[in-house]
Amino acid sequence: MTASMTAFARCQTSTRWGQLTWEIKSVNHRYLDISTRLPDQLRVLENTLRESVSRTLARGKLECSLRFQIDRNNPASMTINNDLLGRLTELARKIEISMHESSSLSVSDVLSWPGIITEEGIDYEDLAASARELLNQTLEELVTSRNSEGERLKKIVLDKLSSIGEQVNTVRTIVPSIVPDYRQRLADRLADIQGDLDPGRLEQELVVFANKADITEELDRLDSHISEVGQAMESDNPVGRRLDFLMQELNREANTMGSKATDIRITNAAVELKVLIEQIREQVQNIE
């Protein structure tokens, strides 16, 4: 199945300690390039992330981010920093003695003190396991999105490829008339100047012209490349690089055909071919 390199997937899940959210953005790239953004406590997932992506995708520039939002309403996610609490209480008592006044330090004051509430109650190993499961789900959604966009690109490419085939067939119908038309033009010129030309010399001129104007090989190669592109679009393997190479080959044959053209119809067909090939190439840049 043809897959696009452009896609986005976002999945989230709730755990006993808070909410996990994976976001993966994919754009076109020559190779597989993975950038990550993970919470420090879950940095251990980076290798798993890279391995999972490498097994799933062949090309693309990916931005992968994981967010963890702690549930502050869940006591299981919070613990008290007893060392800090003891130190804070001791300092409050010393201040009372020095100032000969009762402390006004309340429970709410203590709870709002920076660092007094920690996240040590969170089981990050269990949280990492949940994040791994969610990652697999996110990658599945990303692949589905890439495949869906890939089908759209496939339709565009095949439509343009069909138009290229039509242009090639049109040129084939023109080719047989090129030499006879040239012979007639020579005859008309001779008639205008009322001159005579040795028949052998005329035939020699026509042979030279026919060799220079012969585009049979270019048309045959164009047909061959068109067939290869069609076969590649039906492959289940990544084909973006092969398609990019085939676009170069198609363009080369169109250029050669245009340079040999002696008929304005063939010149116009060569120009149209180059336009269609470029339109396909633009789409191919997004195919994995």
Provide the 3-class DSSP secondary structure of residue 182: helix
Give me 211's structure tokens: 């060799």
CATH number at 68 reads 3.30.230
Q: Would you tell me how many other CB atoms lie within 10 Å of the CB of residue 33?
A: 12
Give me 121's structure tokens: 């109650």
Q: Are residues 154 and 129 in the same domain?
A: no
Q: Are residues 135 and 86 in the same domain?
A: no
Query: Does residue 2 belong to any structural domain of this protein?
Result: no
Q: Are residues 58 and 135 in the same domain?
A: yes
Q: Would you tell me how many other CB atoms lie within 10 Å of the CB of residue 9?
A: 20
What residues make up the domain containing 93? 79-118
Query: Does residue 1 belong to any structural domain of this protein?
Result: no
Looking at residue 104, the DSSP 8-state letter turns out to be -
Tell me phi and psi for residue 198, to 5 degrees. -60, 130
Q: Are residues 93 and 175 in the same domain?
A: no
Q: Are residues 199 and 241 in the same domain?
A: yes
What is the per-residue pLDDT for 146?
95
pLDDT of 214-271, one tens digit each?
Answer: 788 899 999 999 999 999 999 989 999 999 999 999 999 999 998 888 888 999 999 9
Q: Are residues 259 and 177 in the same domain?
A: yes
* Distance from C-alpha of 269 to C-alpha of 195, rounded to nearest angstrom: 36
Q: Are residues 104 and 196 in the same domain?
A: no
Give me 194's structure tokens: 């009322």
Q: Are residues 169 and 131 in the same domain?
A: no
Q: Which residues of the chain have pLDDT under 70?
A: 72-86, 97, 99-121, 179-211, 213
Count the domains in the chain.
3
pLDDT of 74-94, one tens digit each?
Answer: 555 556 666 666 677 777 777
* Distance from C-alpha of 10 to C-alpha of 177, rounded to nearest angstrom: 60
What is the per-residue pLDDT for 17?
82
Largest CA distance in the chain: 132
CATH number at 277 reads 1.20.140
What is the per-residue pLDDT for 74?
59
- CA geometry: angle 31, 36, 37, nearest 5 deg: 160
What is the per-residue pLDDT for 110?
58
Q: Are residues 34 and 138 in the same domain?
A: yes
